[in-house]
């Protein structure tokens, strides 16, 4: 009997202790300090040196405020290829690389078919009658900061994405977002997808009424694009009461017209200067809005870019600097004809060249009873004869390629075996793809080189001390830095590290 009483008493003590511990764990979790709002800002095609090229033209409350009050990582690099919009936005918010998160380009091939990174035929447009809303993040394989915020708060937080470009709104916001909104150039309205909702929120419908009559040129190639984006971001905060619900929320914002203007006019044009000076004033206004609405020091904001841009080829040549264009369509047609003639077939053996990657048509090669390795090696040898390529790399034998280790790592990080094709092209410095028949005053991006890979990364606000570091940091370090500061798990494909200890 005494033994039985001892056992019962011991069990009672254990259950009381367990109950006390459980209650205290819940209390500790409830008391975790977090900002009211996390704001991620991506400036499309912003080279790192734009912080300084236009420094004297900036006011004190935009870029300069970020640089003086925030923590500035001066040596942040993209650690994969290609450096393009969809991948950049995905990598910023997943802390990962194409090899893992699966977004290997704006467009890429799946099962031999070219697909757009966000296209989704299972969903429909919400907000207009066009097909521009048939989009979702379903091709992205990893979680984002926003997804992890949702998980950490038992899905009580709100996450919203805003941009002119669909991919710049959808991919950053993540899989579990409450909404992603982008600009439909056919209707001149911000729209979304049935992936998120069946009807536009009232605040979006009301904001759309304020846009008025605009043209595609106005929105994408003038400061109006910055204005619409900033005002839409403020409308989202007000409409969804972001940061005002007692739970940490997140807003992702991407300024897209900087990229379109850069493509059209290049890195040194007055239009490029104009758009960044305007963006500086927009940032100043937005930060003031956050101070008033959320409270200074109560929000965490970071600014970065999805990629940079090459200096214009004609400008470089004018000053005696080696530079040349890569006409991918011409190379693609020539290589395709060569392979058909070489193997004596009438069917094309090449699916295409996209983002400096060569995609062989595996199904056609099998149907013609050809050996894939033989076809690939033939293509490799033909491409190696072209002087504009520094390296031509077989993805399946990357470690055998005689390329610098930095470039090799970027190729490996950018390679997803189901979506990246067969061969990586590495161009000479200052060479880039020309979209058209001749080189113009504009530019593009997509390469491993510093002009495309060196991006800004500044974080400001909640528990961030001002400072600067020249230590090597990477685009994949952004997500874990944010997650560390707000005490949540990093995204499930993250390979980076926090830059703030």
Residues marked active site are found at: 85
Contact 459, 479 (CB under 8 A): no
Residue 263 has a CB neighbour count (10 Å cut-off) of 18
**Both tokens of residue 5?**
């009483």
Contact 294, 37 (CB under 8 A): yes
Contact 434, 327 (CB under 8 A): yes
**Both tokens of residue 372?**
């894939």
SS3 string, 381-414, reads HHHHCCCCEEEEEEHHHHHHCCCCHHHHHHHHHH
Instruction: Indicate the burial class of 447 (C-beta count within 10 angstroms; 0-12, 13-18, 19 or more).
Output: buried
Q: Which helix (H) or strand (E) holds 315?
A: helix 313-318
What residue has token string 């050809």? 370
CA distance 263 to 413: 26
CA distance 176 to 146: 8
Please report the sign of the dihedral spanned by the C-alpha atoms of residue 324, residue 330, residue 336, residue 340: negative
């Amino acid at each position: 009997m005494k033994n039985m009483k001892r056992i019962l008493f011991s069990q009672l003590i254990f259950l009381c202790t367990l109950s006390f511990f459980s209650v205290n764990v819940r209390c500790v979790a409830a008391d975790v300090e977090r900002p009211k709002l996390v704001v991620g800002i991506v400036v499309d095609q912003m080279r790192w040196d734009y912080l300084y090229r236009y420094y004297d033209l900036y006011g004190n409350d935009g870029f300069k405020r970020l640089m003086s009050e925030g923590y500035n990582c001066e040596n942040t690099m993209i650690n994969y290829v290609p450096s393009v919009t969809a991948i950049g936005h995905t990598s910023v918010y997943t802390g990962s690389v194409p090899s893992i998160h699966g977004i290997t380009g704006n467009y890429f091939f799946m099962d031999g078919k070219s697909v757009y990174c966000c296209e989704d035929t299972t969903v429909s447009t919400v907000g207009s009658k066009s097909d521009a809303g048939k989009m979702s993040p379903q091709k992205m394989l990893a979680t984002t900061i926003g997804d992890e915020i949702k998980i950490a708060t038992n899905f009580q937080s709100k996450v919203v994405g805003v941009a002119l470009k669909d991919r710049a709104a959808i991919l950053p916001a993540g899989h579990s977002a409450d909404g992603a909104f982008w600009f439909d150039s056919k209707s001149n309205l911000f729209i979304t997808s049935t992936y998120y909702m069946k009807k536009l929120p009232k605040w979006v419908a009301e904001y759309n009424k304020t846009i008025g009559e605009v043209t595609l040129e106005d929105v994408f190639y003038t400061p109006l694009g910055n204005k619409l984006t900033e005002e839409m971001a403020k409308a989202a905060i007000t409409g969804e009461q972001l940061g005002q619900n007692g739970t940490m929320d997140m807003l992702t914002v991407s300024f897209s017209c900087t990229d379109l203007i850069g493509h059209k006019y290049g890195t040194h044009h007055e239009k490029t200067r104009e758009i960044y000076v305007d963006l500086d004033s927009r940032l100043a206004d937005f930060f003031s809005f956050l101070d008033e609405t959320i409270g200074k020091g109560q929000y965490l904001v970071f600014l970065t870019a999805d990629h940079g841009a090459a200096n214009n080829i004609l400008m470089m040549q004018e000053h005696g600097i080696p530079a040349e264009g890569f006409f991918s369509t011409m190379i693609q047609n020539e290589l395709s004809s060569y392979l058909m003639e070489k193997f004596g077939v009438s069917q094309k053996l090449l699916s295409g060249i996209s983002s400096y990657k060569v995609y062989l048509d595996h199904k056609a090669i099998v149907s013609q009873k050809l050996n894939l390795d033989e076809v690939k090696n033939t293509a490799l040898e033909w491409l190696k004869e072209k002087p504009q390529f520094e390296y031509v790399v077989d993805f399946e034998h990357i470690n055998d390629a005689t390329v610098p280790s930095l470039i090799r790592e970027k190729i490996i990080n950018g390679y997803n075996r189901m979506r990246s094709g067969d061969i990586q092209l590495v161009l000479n410095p200052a060479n880039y793809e020309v979209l058209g028949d001749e080189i113009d005053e504009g530019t593009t991006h997509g390469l491993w080189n510093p002009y495309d890979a060196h991006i800004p990364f500044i974080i400001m606000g909640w528990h961030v001390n001002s400072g600067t570091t020249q230590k090597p940091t990477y685009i994949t370090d952004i997500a874990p830095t944010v997650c560390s500061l707000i005490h949540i798990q990093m995204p499930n494909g993250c390979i980076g590290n926090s830059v703030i200890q």
